[in-house]
Structure 1
Amino acid sequence: MQVKKIKHVPEIKGALRNHVVEVPTCIRECSGIKIFGKRIKSLLFTTDVAIIRNTNADAIIAVYPFTPQPLITQALVMAADVPVFCGVGGGITQGKRVVNLALDAEFKGAMGVVVNAPTSNEIIRRIRETIDIPLIVTIVSQCEDINERIGAGATIFNVSGGKNTPEIVRKIRKEYPEFPIIATGGPTEESVMETIEAGANAITYTPPAAGEIMGELMDKYRGI
């Protein structure tokens, strides 16, 4: 009987950069997705450059509720010291502009692009023909035609179905045992583990707002 050795992982922190947004440690239990040789298990869902510079997440998923702008993409990629997956529209923003934004994101150094759930299969197909980096398609419902999305050129699914996320992941995994899936993990370690056990390869974690973090810090200062 072999006894598995516990590996010692040395950790180095600076005096000024030891206060960071840490993702739940249970995310390390998922398999991860290897992209261009880099294994990614945790993705932080944010566009806040201060948080982007102060996190232990493997990557950043930067999707925001406005029309994507190349200047924002450039700022996010420049600020990050980890891979960035940029939103390029597909909801409010449609058509050729989405394709152009995806190509621009690749040129600016994004590791992948993310399109919203309403994006048509035709646009997904045109993006796939244009870029070489992964195309991440957002799935929000069990009613989504997964086969059509894969056929159109989706590289990875980003499952964001709220409380139904584990069930959606489970359904996709049953039909496509090896297709890469990123999924939102929810607010607790229990919800994260449920999503991992359902079959997610990587987990998206939403950090506290910068204002909330600052509030906690100010409470600490006031107590001095």
Structure 2
Amino acid sequence: MGKYVPEIKGILRRHMIHLPDVIREASGIRIFGKRLKSFIFSTDVAVIKNTNADAVIAVYPFTPQPLITEAIVMSADIPVFCGVGGGITTGKRIVNLALDAEFKGAMGVVVNSPTPNEVITQMRDTIDIPIIVSIVSEHENIAGRIEAGATILNISGAKRTAHIVRKIRERYPNFPIIATGGPTEESIRQTIEAGANAITFTPPTAADILSEIMIGYREKYAKEQTNE
């Protein structure tokens, strides 16, 4: 029989982004004493402040900037893992951005799939926080990533994510893995069963949420107008 968990909600914070409960079935990854199972994929500080996720993965498709890292870390009340490049941005700049992210309070850094192993090694020699390396295919040199200094693998293979996780888990039964769970509870459960320790979740955008709220407002006023 599961333990009863009392839940306390504020009047003004009831409207927030709740991640799927199935994510709690994951084992989680204990980082600096904190057990993290759910990661919200967002750089929107309003979304980050209104979610029940355990942590944030803040990766964006632009050149990483320390000011953005600082804004996200300062506004979040949960651990933040910041993207520091690895695609367009590479070399010494990534190492410097990673060190800056650590100094600003990030719990870890995330590098893109194209990041050279020698850069990961330089980062490992420079920073003390986890290095999360993104993986998009089971055919990548996983052993090389681990030997270079990767702390956690972040599997992002779209519909093939669970398959990639399973293949990597067969070779590395205990190495920490975060993976995208997909849009449904079933796809999330499949990813967990394949061996993911934690799940990243992409929330609806603030614009989508606001659109739903505005629809509700319009329907309310339309109903009131009909009743008059």
Give the structure-2-normalised TM-score: 0.96
Partner of 1:60: 56
Residue 94 of structure 2 is aligned to residue 104 of structure 1 = no
Partner of 1:203: 199
What CA distance in whole angstroms lies between the structure 1 residues aligned with 2:128 and 2:9? Answer: 36
Partner of 1:83: 79
What SS does the aligned partner of 1:163 have? Answer: helix
Partner of 1:116: 112
1:23 to 16, 19, 27: 19
Residue 176 of structure 1, CA deviation: 0.4
What SS does the aligned partner of 2:98 have? Answer: helix
Residue 190 of structure 2 is aligned to residue 194 of structure 1 = yes
1:1-20 maps to which residues of 2 (within 5 A)? 5-20=1-16
Partner of 2:223: none
Partner of 1:167: 163
What CA distance in whole angstroms lies between the structure 1 residues aligned with 2:159 and 2:50? Answer: 28
Give the aligned length. Answer: 220
What SS does the aligned partner of 1:222 have? Answer: helix
Residue 6 of structure 1, CA deviation: 2.0
Residue 199 of structure 1, CA deviation: 0.1
What do residues 29-80 of structure 1 show as CA deviations (whole Å, max 9, x unaligned)? 0000000000000000000000000000000000000000000000000110
What do residues 161-209 of structure 1 show as CA deviations (whole Å, max 9, x unaligned)? 1111011100110000000000000000011001000000000000001
Question: What amino acid sits opposite 1:214 in the alignment?
Answer: L
1:38-57 maps to which residues of 2 (within 5 A)? 38-57=34-53
What CA distance in whole angstroms lies between the structure 2 residues aligned with 1:207 and 1:86? Answer: 17
What CA distance in whole angstroms lies between the structure 2 residues aligned with 1:68 and 1:144? Answer: 24
Question: What amino acid sits opposite 2:112 in the alignment?
Answer: N
What do residues 90-129 of structure 1 show as CA deviations (whole Å, max 9, x unaligned)? 0010110000000000000000000000000000000000
Question: What amino acid sits opposite 2:38 in the alignment?
Answer: S
Partner of 2:136: 140
Partner of 2:224: none
* Consecutive unaligned residues in structure 2, runs of 5 or more: 221-228
RMSD: 0.5
**Percentage identity across aligned positions?**
71
Bigger Cα Rg: 2
Residue 222 of structure 1, CA deviation: 1.3
What do residues 8-33 of structure 1 show as CA deviations (whole Å, max 9, x unaligned)? 10100100011001111000000000
Partner of 2:127: 131
Runs of 4+ in 1 over 4 A off after TM superposition: none
What CA distance in whole angstroms lies between the structure 2 residues aligned with 1:98 and 1:169? Answer: 26
Question: What amino acid sits opposite 1:185 in the alignment?
Answer: G
What SS does the aligned partner of 1:85 have? Answer: strand
1:181 to 159, 177, 182: 177
What SS does the aligned partner of 1:148 have? Answer: helix
Residue 143 of structure 1, CA deviation: 1.1
Question: What amino acid sits opposite 1:92 in the alignment?
Answer: I
* Consecutive unaligned residues in structure 1, runs of 5 or more: none
Residue 223 of structure 1, CA deviation: 1.9
Residue 154 of structure 2 is aligned to residue 158 of structure 1 = yes
